[in-house]
């Protein structure tokens, strides 16, 4: 069983879960280096923004941002950037997010005095793609060979890299919801079918958190991801028996299973239009075009209206997106650009 792909399903799943501090803390505590974990106050993490790294660049990636403290009370930003494909310019993007968020912080708190400080940035890249990650760990790796003294400062800011495809998920470590989402992302990255044993394991992990008030919502989100992008060997029957019912009980489990079947039928009507359009390299090309359009609009005209963002990000027509990119460069106003979207 494999459902119809949706745009950026991995990002949506990651954002849905890691926007909760208790789940995010588990990722930091169990998957980052000990020197970093020992140096931060895990209980200080507060969500600073979800998806919105900068108002002008909303939805241009930048999954999650938390603000917290080091052990000595120095403020920090922690960015979580999720990747299902290799991005060689990852370190440059991370610097871009860091600068934008620091400027936002300065403006919001009026941090302009000589004695004021900005939060120190920590960037996490969570990767679950099949290809080997070959991007430089820091922006200095994007330059040619530098002379001594030129490779200091922000050029040496590396990102913390977690490769789920090649790292075992630490079962029993962190919240069950954390273990569940990492198992799912790993399954997708390995491009292997989810057999009944793996599905039962996922169901049991989720069921261990059945007293959590978020259990029904998170079960629905995970099942949506499974139906959309994960190949489940046993089909919807196995999903009901091994996943829904152990987590939600007989009545609620069957009800959510029936809802999922209806969802599959609805999505199958779009299969002909969407078949293959979000697979392989084309998915990355669509995403790149969409992000480039938003970056150009934000740079030229300031904050991009939400209706415009929606039309750009929900567009899956490669040729139309290329036309939009040209128009974003040619238009004199955002209104002129919008007139070409209808």
pLDDT digits 0-9 by tens, 308-339:
887 787 777 777 888 888 888 888 888 888 88
Q: Which of 70, 162, 150 is nearest to 123 (CA)?
A: 162
On the question of pLDDT at 244 being above 60, the answer is yes
Predicted model pTM: 0.68
Q: What is the pLDDT of residue 195?
A: 86
Lowest mean pLDDT among 77-86, 143-152, 156-165, 230-239: 143-152
Q: What is the pLDDT of residue 294?
A: 84
Q: How many other C-beta atoms are found inside a 10 Å radius of the C-beta of residue 233?
A: 14
| Structure confidence by residue, pLDDT tens digits, 291-307 | 888 888 888 888 888 77
In terms of DSSP bridges, do strands 160-163 and 120-127 run parallel, antiparallel, or are they unpaired?
Answer: parallel
Residue 187 near residue 230, CB atoms below 8 Å:
yes
Residue 244 near residue 218, CB atoms below 8 Å:
no
Q: What is the pLDDT of residue 59?
A: 44
- Taking the C-alpha atoms of residue 124 and residue 157, their distance in angstroms, rounded to an integer, is 12
Average pLDDT over residues 159-180: 90
Average pLDDT over residues 262-277: 50
Lowest mean pLDDT among 66-80, 161-175, 188-202: 188-202
On the question of pLDDT at 100 being above 50, the answer is yes
Q: Could you tell me the CA-to-CA distances from 274 to 48, 260, 270, 317, 339 in Å, in that order?
A: 35, 19, 6, 10, 26
Q: What is the pLDDT of residue 151?
A: 63
Strands of the chain, DSSP E: 46-50, 64-69, 75-83, 120-127, 160-163
- Taking the C-alpha atoms of residue 172 and residue 201, their distance in angstroms, rounded to an integer, is 12
Lowest mean pLDDT among 74-88, 240-254, 263-277, 296-310: 263-277
Q: Could you tell me the CA-to-CA distances from 125 to 14, 61, 83, 240, 305 in Å, in that order?
A: 12, 12, 7, 33, 29
The most confident of the ranges 3-7, 61-65, 219-223 is 219-223
Q: Which residue has the higher pLDDT, 205 or 130?
A: 205
Q: Which of 121, 119, 100 is nearest to 111 (CA)?
A: 119
On the question of pLDDT at 68 being above 90, the answer is yes
- Taking the C-alpha atoms of residue 11 and residue 187, their distance in angstroms, rounded to an integer, is 15
- Taking the C-alpha atoms of residue 176 and residue 14, their distance in angstroms, rounded to an integer, is 14
On the question of pLDDT at 191 being above 70, the answer is yes
Q: What is the pLDDT of residue 270?
A: 43
- Taking the C-alpha atoms of residue 190 and residue 86, their distance in angstroms, rounded to an integer, is 14
Average pLDDT over residues 174-189: 90
Q: What is the pLDDT of residue 57?
A: 34
Q: How confident is the model at residue 247 (pLDDT cuts 50, 70, 90)?
A: very high
Q: Which residue has the higher pLDDT, 125 or 154?
A: 125
Q: How confident is the model at residue 163 (pLDDT cuts 50, 70, 90)?
A: very high
Q: How confident is the model at residue 49 (pLDDT cuts 50, 70, 90)?
A: low
Q: How many other C-beta atoms are found inside a 10 Å radius of the C-beta of residue 153?
A: 8
Q: Which residue has the higher pLDDT, 10 or 238?
A: 238
On the question of pLDDT at 153 being above 70, the answer is no
Q: Which of 66, 54, 62 is nearest to 27 (CA)?
A: 66
């Amino acid at each position: 069983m494999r459902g119809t792909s949706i745009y950026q399903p991995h990002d949506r799943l990651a954002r849905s879960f890691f926007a909760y501090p208790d789940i995010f803390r588990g990722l930091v505590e169990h998957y980052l280096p000990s020197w970093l974990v020992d140096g931060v106050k895990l209980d200080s993490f507060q969500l600073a923004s979800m998806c919105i790294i900068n108002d002008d660049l909303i939805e241009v990636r930048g999954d999650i941002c938390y603000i917290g403290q080091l052990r000595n009370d120095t403020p920090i930003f922690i960015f979580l950037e999720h990747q299902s494909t290799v991005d060689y310019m990852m370190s440059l993007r991370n610097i871009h997010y860091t600068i934008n968020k620091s400027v936002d912080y300065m403006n919001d708190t009026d941090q302009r005095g000589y004695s004021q400080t900005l939060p120190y940035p920590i960037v996490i890249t969570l990767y679950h793609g099949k290809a080997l990650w070959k991007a430089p760990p820091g922006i200095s790796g994007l330059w040619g060979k530098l002379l001594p003294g030129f490779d200091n400062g922000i050029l040496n800011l590396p990102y913390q890299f977690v490769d789920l495809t090649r790292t075992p998920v630490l079962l029993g470590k962190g919240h069950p919801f954390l273990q569940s989402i990492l198992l799912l992302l790993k399954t997708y990255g390995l491009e292997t079918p989810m057999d009944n044993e793996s599905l039962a394991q996922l169901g049991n992990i989720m069921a261990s958190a059945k007293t959590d008030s978020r259990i029904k919502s998170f079960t629905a989100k995970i099942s949506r991801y499974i139906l959309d992008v994960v190949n489940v060997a046993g089909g919807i029957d196995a999903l009901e028996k091994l996943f829904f019912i152990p987590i939600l009980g007989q009545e609620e489990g069957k009800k959510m299973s029936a809802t999922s079947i209806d969802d599959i039928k609805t999505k199958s009507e779009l299969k002909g239009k969407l078949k293959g359009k979000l697979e392989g390299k084309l998915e990355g090309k669509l995403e790149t075009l969409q992000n480039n359009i938003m970056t150009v609009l934000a740079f030229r005209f300031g904050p991009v209206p939400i209706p415009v963002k929606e039309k750009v990000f929900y567009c899956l027509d490669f040729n139309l997106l290329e036309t939009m990119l040209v128009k974003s460069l040619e238009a004199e106003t955002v209104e002129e650009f919008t007139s070409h979207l209808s």
